Each structure stands twice: as structure tokens, then as C-alpha cells.
Amino acid sequence: MFTRIDRAILRRLQEDGRVAYSELAEALGVPRATLHRRVKALEREGVIRRYTAVLDPTKLGYKFLAFVLIRARRTVPKEGESSQVTLARELLERSSAEADFPWIEEAHIVTGPYDILLKVWVREWDGLTTFLTAQLPAYEDIEHTETILVLNRVG
């Protein structure tokens, strides 16, 4: 059962995973030992899986964000995972390996008329155009896509 303190700890660690325990304990109004014990319990229980850097894509030269919905063809699963998961993994791996491929920050398997949701960053609009008209259509397992362009990020 999560307490109010647990929720506050998690919220703050999501904002800044490197915050000092002393600073966090003071901000939450709890003893440092209590904070340390609660954080260790949250780690042990798997609530906190890891600490990671949160990147600012604009500082890396990425100016535009789009969400790309993909309807995938149903094929025989490879190695026990669905064809949708396999396709999403392939796209993520290619994104990491190839400089001319957009940065896919996230890939999700979703419900509804589409199977995969990609969070895609591009440096220029022509990069998105190439992704949508040349790179994605090269995948036989992709049946249809729909793209949502982000105008402003809130929060």
C-alpha cells in the first residue's frame, strides 16, 4: 500500500532522479532515515525499476514531434512474441543504429484500430516525410499508418 509520502517521493524522483536524499527529506518534511528506508523499499518492490537520464530532444537537434500509429499485418509470431512486438522492436533498433532514421523515443503496443504507437522525433519535416513515404513502407508487415503532429507540449 502506497502512502502519501511514497507518492510524493515517486513524483519528485521522476522530476529529478539525482536529487539528494537530504534535500528530498527536507522538502517532504520527513527524516532522512525514513526517506532512505522508503526509497529502498520502493526499489526492492520493483516500483522503482531504474534511474535514467531524461533527454531534451530539442538540445539534440530534434525540432518536430509526431505520433505515428501503425496497423500491422497479422503474421505468425517469431520466437513466441507477436508480430506487432517484433515490428516495434525492429523499428526501435533501426532508430538506434541509423543516423538517417528518425529517433523513435517510445514504441507501444495499443488497442483499437491500430497496433503500434510510435513517438517519433525528427530534425526537419523532410525527415518525417522520408520516414512516412519511404522508410516505413519498406516494411512488409505495415498495412497502414496515421500520423499526428504535435503543435505544443503541455507539461
Tens-digit pLDDT profile for residues 73-103? 987 666 778 899 999 999 999 999 999 999 9
Our CA angle for 9, 15, 21, nearest 5°, is: 45
- Cell 522503482, residue located: 48
Per-residue pLDDT reduced to its tens digit, 15-64 = 999 999 999 999 999 999 999 999 999 999 999 999 998 889 999 999 99
Q: For 4-44, CATH number?
A: 1.10.10.10
Asked if 116 and 87 touch (Cβ cutoff 8 Å), the reply is yes
Our CA angle for 23, 13, 19, nearest 5°, is: 35
Question: Phi, psi (5° rounding) for residue 95?
Answer: -60, -40
Asked if 44 and 105 touch (Cβ cutoff 8 Å), the reply is no
* 38: its cell numbers: 522508503
The β-bridge relationship of strands 64-72 and 103-109 is: unpaired
**Predicted confidence band of residue 68 (pLDDT cuts 50, 70, 90):** very high
Our CA angle for 53, 93, 14, nearest 5°, is: 20
Spans of all domains in the chain: 4-44, 57-149
pTM beyond cutoff 0.75 = yes
CATH classification for the domain delimited by 57-149, as one of 3.30.70.920, 3.40.50.720, 3.40.50.2300, 1.20.1440.120: 3.30.70.920
Element (H, E) at 6: helix 4-15
